[in-house]
Amino acid sequence: MSRWLADGQVAHRAELGVFLHWARRERLTTVTLAVEQRAGPRDPVDHAQRWRQARRLLHDETLPTEDRIAGLLVVLYAQPATNVRILRFDMIDATPTGTRITFGSTPIELPPTMVALIARLTADRAGTNRAHTPWIFPGRPWTQPISPGTLRKRLSAIGVPARAAEHE
C-alpha cells in the first residue's frame, strides 16, 4: 500500500483520505496517512483569465445560477470549495450600504450583480423542497451541504478549475 500511495499517479487518493478520515472518526480503524501539505496554488494565477471567468459567471445566463454563485466565490474571493460548500443564507447580511457575506469572521461586500444572483436563487427555490434549506449550496439530502468533490466537479463543468483558483 505504501508504494501505491508514494506513486505520483495514484488514483483516488483524495477519496481514500475521506474514507479513512470517516473510518477513524467512527473508530473503525487507527490507520493514518501522511499527507502532503499544500502551500498554495500550483500554478501562478492568470489575472486576465480570472477576470474573464468572473465576467462570464456574472453575465452568462446559460449557466446554472447556483454554479455561477459558487464560481464567483472561488474566482473573486479565492475561497476553496471546502469553504464555499458550507455557506448558509444567514451568512449574508443586507445593510443600507450594501450586501455582505461573511467568510469566517470577515464580512465582504458583494457586487450588486452577485446580490441579484443570490436573490434569483432564492426566488427559484421558492415552493420547492429546497426552499427551507439553510445552505446556499445544498447537497443530498437538502438538509446537508454539498460535498466538496461534487462542488469541484460542478465548477469544473462550467470551466472554473476550483483547485487552481483556490489559495488554500
pLDDT tens readout for residues 35-60: 554 445 555 567 888 899 999 999 99
Q: Do 149 and 81 share a structural domain?
A: yes
Q: Do 63 and 91 share a structural domain?
A: yes
Q: Do 22 and 51 share a structural domain?
A: no
State yes or no: pLDDT of 125 exceeds 50: yes
> Would 41 be classed as within a structural domain?
no
Q: Do 160 and 85 share a structural domain?
A: yes
Please compute the mean of the pLDDT values over residues 67-74 and round it to a whole number.
Answer: 95
> Would 155 be classed as within a structural domain?
yes
State yes or no: pLDDT of 123 exceeds 60: yes
Structural domain including 8 reads 1-36
Total domain count, the chain: 2
Rounded distance, CA 82 to CA 64, Å?
Answer: 20
Q: What predicted TM-score, i.e. pTM, was given to this entire model?
A: 0.70
Q: Do 21 and 53 share a structural domain?
A: no
State yes or no: pLDDT of 135 exceeds 60: yes
Q: Do 51 and 32 share a structural domain?
A: no
> Would 101 be classed as within a structural domain?
yes
Rounded distance, CA 28 to CA 50, Å?
Answer: 43
> In this structure, what C-alpha cell is assigned to residue 80?
476553496
> Would 42 be classed as within a structural domain?
no
Contact 118, 88 (CB under 8 A): no
> Would 156 be classed as within a structural domain?
yes
pLDDT tens digits, one per residue of 9-21: 555 666 676 777 7
Q: Do 160 and 84 share a structural domain?
A: yes
Q: Do 146 and 116 share a structural domain?
A: yes
State yes or no: pLDDT of 87 exceeds 50: yes
- All residues at 6 or more sequence positions from 126 whose CB lies less than 8 Å from its CB, including other chains: none
- Per-residue confidence (pLDDT) for residue 93, from 0 to 100: 93
Q: Do 126 and 58 share a structural domain?
A: yes
Q: Do 105 and 68 share a structural domain?
A: yes
Compute the Cα dihedral for 154, 158, 164, 166 and give only its sign. Answer: negative
State yes or no: pLDDT of 159 exceeds 80: yes
Please compute the mean of the pLDDT values over residues 127-150 and round it to a whole number.
Answer: 89
Q: Do 114 and 31 share a structural domain?
A: no
